[in-house]
Amino acid sequence: MKRSIIYLLTLSAFYLASCSAGKIAMKKGDKKLKYGEFEYSIEYFNKAIKHNYRPGEANFKIGEAYRLSNRIKEAESYYRTSIENSYDNEEAWYFYGMALKSNEKYSDAKLELESYLASASDEKIIDLAQVEVDNLIKLNEIIDKENYYRVKNLELINSPAAEYSPVYLDGELYFTSSRFGGKIYKATGTSFTNVYKVKTKGARVEVNTITSLGEEINSPNTNDGCVAFSPDGQTMVYAKGNSGRKKGAEDVDLYISRFRRGAWSKPTLMRLSDGKAWDSTPSFSRDGRTLYFSSTRRGSIGGTDLYAATKNRRGRWSNVRNLGPKINTAGNEMFPYQASDGSLYFSSNGHPGLGGLDILVAKREEGKMIVENPGPPINSSSDDFGLFLYTPDKGFFTSNREGGKGDDDIYTFINNDPNLKIVNYYLTGTTHTIDEDGNEKILPNTSVMLYGANDELLNEALTGRDGKFLFRVYPEEDYVLMGEKPDFFTSRALFSTVGKTIPKDKLTKLETNKVFTTKIVLDQIILDKAIVLENIYYDLDRDEIRPDAALELDKLVTVLEDNPEIKIELSSHTDSRQTAAYNDDLSKRRAQSAVNYIVSKGIDSERLIARGYGESQLLIADEEINRLPTEEAREAAHQRNRRTEFKVIEYNKVEDSEEEEELEEEIQELQAEERVEPVGTDLEDKIDWDN
């Protein structure tokens, strides 16, 4: 009996010690997972499993560590085991389905997700699972899609380490790699990444020229990579992260460097980076005026979303905006790249795809954004990302698919589609004003905005001394151009490409440019200068607004909407063919009717004053009218006197209200020799104009 008690006490002590060790391992694993040290967290969770401490939870967290370090294929068995151990977390079911998909077990993935949905309760996970089931239903369309891509591993560059994010510039291929050892990055258990370059002619690389960009760009104990270059090659934006400046995986930000005197300048943190988010995978638009990037910042639709920032008139990046639900999903979107035809390539695991990250392309078609998956062989069940075209039919991308040399590998591809014909549509124009003699003259330094359907701002530019601007436009779309400049009325101009698309059977080249021209005229704001509103007519002795007059007043409504800083006087005038008192009363009623109509369209009444001047301000005196030779000419002269005018009586000029801190940063940027050039003309020199 005594011996049995001792045995039980010993067994209990062993069990308690094992539980304690397992609990400690789980706690340490949680801490490592929280701070993004995924490889170390796996070790601790395995220890917890060894001690049989919460095996369902520990297996789930190992699966999470693999998933969050881009190794979801390896997570499959751990998610399954967590479910088998009755771990009460519905995310385990969802990510188990995603892991099955990444291992090309598409039928099993669909079956498991549908089984989960039959008894699910977590609304957020239900939505994600249903989207993925719908994506899997569309899978055969992607797999069976006809395409003409041929891909090849760029073996001379690739190593057992990771090589990814290829970018071609002036005969050199830049890429990111964890080659050559060094300190270990705790999230993946591999070396920190650096930026490299190699001389190449298309896809023919000179492997003996591979070099690092040096310590100015590549910092020790920091992941550096995912470079992007401005169209002139003088500005580089790239990501730096995991430097120890702060804890966790969010320690990734965008930095900017400039090529000065034969070398890259010391990189500086970009103001558009969010210190509380992960910001990476930058890419310039073809004209250099937009910077695309991925971010986990507040307001994102899913995990990682694509954003865009625009270079403003001062040459600074501003107006950071989410690209919206047509592009972004509840999953991850990253690695944006704009092709020469304006299409936006990016990678996502939220759109219908083969598994992992798939390369997708978003195109504008008749004013709508269409997202397509090019299918295999560009995409696989692994991660496929970082596409870059060095000609319209040839380029590079990254994949960690089966058959590679190591981790992520760089691949080259060619599109042999015999019908691949690209037309780039451009709209170029100039901004003008009218001088005192009534002649048009160039108006420099004018902001021009291009709007599409639903008042969507598509692009903006600042004209130079020549007043020129240039925008990419798309076939079968309607546009509105708006010109703005201090002390001038904001002006609109309409433009359309509807019916102007070039038929493909008329194309003879792989790439063709079609250029349209237009102009925008802005009138100067001059206080108390009368401006006649044409075609504002009233029925005889009446003050009601006729339909034809309403059309003209609607134009004034637009002027007031576009120029919120002005207040106007709207005046009505008569001829002299009634008594002065009668004409005075009639003109006041007509002016007030016009003002009432404008207010009914949403304009604040405080911005409008109605004035009736009767016959007191005739443009043509009665004596002149009576000398005219015909009744028709005399009636036309009376009509000129019966006019409606407006004039600006108050102009509250909007002053620059940027904070001093921002102004100081701008000065520092200028001192770093940033070139602040008028935007809108830089692309023009790069286009081989072919009409």
Q: What are phi and psi of 652, to 5 degrees?
A: -90, 85
440: how many CB neighbours lie within 10 A of its CB? 12
- What value does the mean pLDDT take over residues 249-257? 84
SS (H, E, C) 365-406: ECCEEEEECCCCCCCCCCCEEEEEEEECCEEEEEECCCCCCC
Residue found under tokens 């009576």: 626
Lowest mean pLDDT among 5-14, 110-119, 616-625: 5-14
- Checking if the pLDDT of 265 tops 90, the result is yes
**Structure confidence at residue 604 (pLDDT):** 94
CATH of 422-524+680-686, one of 3.40.720.10, 2.60.40.10, 3.30.360.10, 2.30.29.30: 2.60.40.10
- Contact status, residue 667 vs residue 456, Cβ threshold 8 Å: no
- Checking if the pLDDT of 670 tops 60, the result is no
- Check for a shared fold between 22-137 and 422-524+680-686: no
Helix (H) or strand (E) holding 282: strand 279-284
| pLDDT band of 273, cuts 50, 70, 90 | very high
- What value does the mean pLDDT take over residues 418-433? 92
The set of residues, in sequence order, having a beta carbon less than 8 Å from that of 588 and lying 6+ positions away, is 572, 610, 611, 612, 614
Q: What are phi and psi of 523, to 5 degrees?
A: -90, 140
CA angle centred on 389, ends 384 and 390, rounded to 5°: 140
In the numeric block, which tokens belong to residue 7?
């045995």
| pLDDT band of 243, cuts 50, 70, 90 | low
SS (H, E, C) 158-226: CCCCCEEEEEEECCEEEEEECCCCCCEECCCCEECCEEEEEEEECCEECHHHCEECCCCCCCCCCEEEE
- Checking if the pLDDT of 552 tops 90, the result is no
| pLDDT band of 435, cuts 50, 70, 90 | confident
**Structure confidence at residue 181 (pLDDT):** 65
222: how many CB neighbours lie within 10 A of its CB? 21
* Separation between Cα atoms, residue 560 and residue 569, nearest integer Å: 12
**Structure confidence at residue 192 (pLDDT):** 85
Lowest mean pLDDT among 30-34, 221-225, 615-619, 639-643: 639-643
582: burial class by Cβ within 10 Å (0-12, 13-18, 19+)? middle
Count Cα neighbours of 623 within 13 Å in the Cβ-side half-sphere: 0
- What value does the mean pLDDT take over residues 90-103? 94
CA angle centred on 242, ends 236 and 245, rounded to 5°: 100
Pairing type for strands 440-442 and 422-434 reads antiparallel
Q: What is the dihedral of CA 661, 240, 229, 462, to 10 degrees?
A: -20
| pLDDT band of 280, cuts 50, 70, 90 | very high
**Domain ranges, ordered by start, for the chain:** 22-137, 149-415, 422-524+680-686, 531-651
Which one of 305-319, 350-364, 631-645 scores highest in mean pLDDT? Answer: 350-364
* Separation between Cα atoms, residue 290 and residue 309, nearest integer Å: 6
**Structure confidence at residue 679 (pLDDT):** 40
Share of the chain above pLDDT 70, in %: 89
- Checking if the pLDDT of 425 tops 80, the result is yes
- Helix then strand then coil, % of the chain, to nearest 5: 30, 30, 40
What SS3 class is residue 610? strand
- Residue pLDDT, tens place only, 291-308: 999 999 998 998 899 999
* Separation between Cα atoms, residue 41 and residue 61, nearest integer Å: 9
- What value does the mean pLDDT take over residues 71-77? 93
- Checking if the pLDDT of 660 tops 70, the result is no
* Separation between Cα atoms, residue 84 and residue 391, nearest integer Å: 51
CA nearest neighbour of 68 among 92, 114, 33 = 33
- Contact status, residue 299 vs residue 324, Cβ threshold 8 Å: no
- Checking if the pLDDT of 672 tops 70, the result is no
330: burial class by Cβ within 10 Å (0-12, 13-18, 19+)? middle
Alpha helices for 51-122 (secondary structure H): 55-68, 76-84, 90-102, 106-117
Compute the mean pLDDT over every residue in the chain, rounded to the nearest whole number. 87
CA angle centred on 202, ends 197 and 208, rounded to 5°: 40
In the numeric block, which tokens belong to residue 164?
């990814």
- What value does the mean pLDDT take over residues 211-217? 91
| pLDDT band of 655, cuts 50, 70, 90 | low
- Checking if the pLDDT of 671 tops 60, the result is no
Share of the chain above pLDDT 90, in %: 59
* Separation between Cα atoms, residue 614 and residue 574, nearest integer Å: 5
Helix (H) or strand (E) holding 492: strand 491-496
Which homologous superfamily is 149-415 in?
TolB, C-terminal domain (2.120.10.30)
The model's pTM is: 0.80
* Separation between Cα atoms, residue 588 and residue 579, nearest integer Å: 14
Do you know the residue count of the chain?
691
The set of residues, in sequence order, having a beta carbon less than 8 Å from that of 340 and lying 6+ positions away, is 286, 389, 392, 422, 424, 511
**Structure confidence at residue 546 (pLDDT):** 84
- Checking if the pLDDT of 252 tops 80, the result is yes
Pairing type for strands 491-496 and 511-521 reads unpaired
| pLDDT band of 156, cuts 50, 70, 90 | very high
* Separation between Cα atoms, residue 367 and residue 255, nearest integer Å: 34
Sign of CA dihedral 63, 68, 71, 72: positive
Residue found under tokens 């004035």: 611
- What value does the mean pLDDT take over residues 242-261? 74
> For residue 288, is it left (φ>0), alpha (ψ between -120 and 50) or beta?
left
- Checking if the pLDDT of 362 tops 50, the result is yes
**Structure confidence at residue 667 (pLDDT):** 44
In the numeric block, which tokens belong to residue 390?
């060095």
- Residue pLDDT, tens place only, 125-144: 999 999 999 999 999 999 99
- Checking if the pLDDT of 31 tops 80, the result is yes
- Contact status, residue 359 vs residue 381, Cβ threshold 8 Å: no
Maximum C-alpha span of the chain: 139
Strand partners, 190: 185
The set of residues, in sequence order, having a beta carbon less than 8 Å from that of 596 and lying 6+ positions away, is none
**Structure confidence at residue 677 (pLDDT):** 39
What SS3 class is residue 157? coil
- Contact status, residue 256 vs residue 267, Cβ threshold 8 Å: yes
- Residue pLDDT, tens place only, 321-345: 999 999 999 999 999 999 988 999 9
**Is 531-651 a CATH 3.30.1330.60 domain?**
yes
Which residues in 309-328 are b (16+ Cβ under 10 Å) and which e? bbbbbbbbbeebebbeeebb
CATH of 22-137, one of 1.20.1050.10, 3.10.20.740, 1.25.40.10, 1.20.1090.10: 1.25.40.10
